[in-house]
Structure 1
């Protein structure tokens, strides 16, 4: 069976052939365009230039400056840009005419067309080195590690929680017990993910005790709630972080070949069912940026979280989308912060009015 992102691309192509292209993408009026993001494996780094290797070969060269913020478990310096480590780079305009020249780009909402072209004027704004995330249900707890079920698409993992991070995690995740949910931001290590901070606050209920909405609850045209991100880097492998812009949606239809999970919870939000390959518009209501992204995975883990984000104001309860790291960063989210307030709407087909 082909991987989900490839099946999703095929489904989008078939749908467009039958129903026609979407009407203008359904982007909210006045929304900003997404920022450019590139991902890859660090090949070389200096105070003025970062060279990344793409999964399919080639290089991306990105200008660095004193204002570039680097993250590796916290604010870090150039020393963490070691060859072989995966990195996610959000770009910004720069006055340096050769600011982002190179041989190619990968990933990022709005793509990286400026990267690799003569006269490009983009440099590195923020660089996340080796960042990843573990979200799911606690299976077992040890003295310095937790076993987590991340859902049927992501499997199980063990995340280390060293003493210097445990206090921070316990402030927002006081119940590190089997059956409760966990969400932590990590850095990759040769032994697997290592937690450095909580991603969000822990819901107070057990994972199997989620209150679903009434069957008769109306399904809103625009969903409002929390957007988070999933996946990220893993230093045990040599592949770059997934450069694909996409979303894990909590209500992928489990019937037929739609791609959903038969045992996925319904969540605490009344969602419309979608399928792998559908498109949704995600609007960062704090930063004001928006883009249409494809549904590439069933968001089984997100469906279990009936929590809030307070990036700029408290959201309604419920995670309504998980984004790939490049998509999240491109919409203005800071990966270490974990979430932003979002509005999500399925992309309408041709001729259908779109309202926000």
Structure 2
């Protein structure tokens, strides 16, 4: 299974690297940059693409890797590389030293390895500017968490990689996060959902919000739990939850205006395109219906837990979210981003969305 997961990730990376001559750097904060760069080089060559691989140097050491990277890039553009490639060779370098000594015009592809939170915090926002982010918190189970659309459209990779990320976490999800059920119940109460209405919990996970949602709409209402990860729905089903649907939030299996409200906990930060995702949620919601965006931890608290600093341009920051909801068929009415929760409420306008 581990080997298959690495093969799947490498296949996507090979597909994402531009055709012809290209320069790629694998960056990170530990020795795995060299290991991953070696894997990528082997995968490129197996795919029939000529490839040069300058020597690695330990992270944080100046000189060798960066100098080799620049020289190798010149060699790749001039004709023959170290692997016997031609002018169309792909150069694969690794490490911070290589990234800091980019070829003329910069690296075509920057791959960032996300490892420990401590290292992420120490390195600042370096990974936030990468073209590709590979999650290596578990080095036996790599997952692509970001891939720039200019390299590969999200339809090609996002669903499978998200399922790989959440699927292995389903078994322990409730043990890790199960104590936030009161926060879910409070968020549902604050949302003032219509009694007797149809509510969809998009990205329901193991079903933590479903009991509170059913209580809110009452016996005459309908609650549907939807998630794209089979393992998460299996855990939700073990709790006796019915009305569960396996589907992608980007392509909801409902007709236009079919539901009265959408509840989405922790969803937006995992969407490949938040604006497109919010438009899809608006499409299935009737005019006057409600959108509930929730997380049981505030944005600043969550960012600190993950070892990063909040940016004002993030999708859930108040300014960007106000603009994105307005442009996708919603009117933001409540924005509450305290230390203990994030809660945003929006109402569906009567403007058509496409």
With the shorter chain as reference, the TM-score category is: under 0.3
Greater strand percent: which structure? 1
Query: Per chain length, whose mean CA-contact separation is higher, i.e. which structure has more relative contact order (CA < 8 Å, sep 6+)?
Result: 1
State the TM-score, normalizing by the size of structure 2: 0.24
Q: Bigger radius of gyration, 1 or 2?
A: 2
Greater helix percent: which structure? 2
